Amino acid sequence: DGRRVHVIERDLKEPQRFMGELMQAGGRLKLAQLGLEDCLKEIDAQESKSLAIYKDGKHGTLYYPSSTKFPYEPQGRFLRNGRLVQRLRKKAISLA
């Protein structure tokens, strides 16, 4: 549609701090809708099909619900933030 985006980065090196994240199923869906889901490949992102909840010595499991919004089984991804950032940067450069 003719839009242009400028990305300004202070430093293009992968962040050296270790920071793990859980990308929820909806975040993964948004990446797919933006054509960026391939950025989750080759960064050791681990599948998450459910979450364990612990409180007062009790625990339970929450599963991602089935939904027709998703073109695949809804799953989250555990990943290192810096690796995802690097893949997104690489993708942005390839589209320039």
pLDDT at 19 over 90: no
pTM above 0.85, yes or no: no
d(CA 90, CA 85): 9
Q: What digits encode the pLDDT tens for the residues 25-69? A: 889 999 999 999 999 999 999 999 998 999 999 999 998 888 777
Per DSSP, the residues of 75-91 read: -EEEEEHHHHHHHHHHH
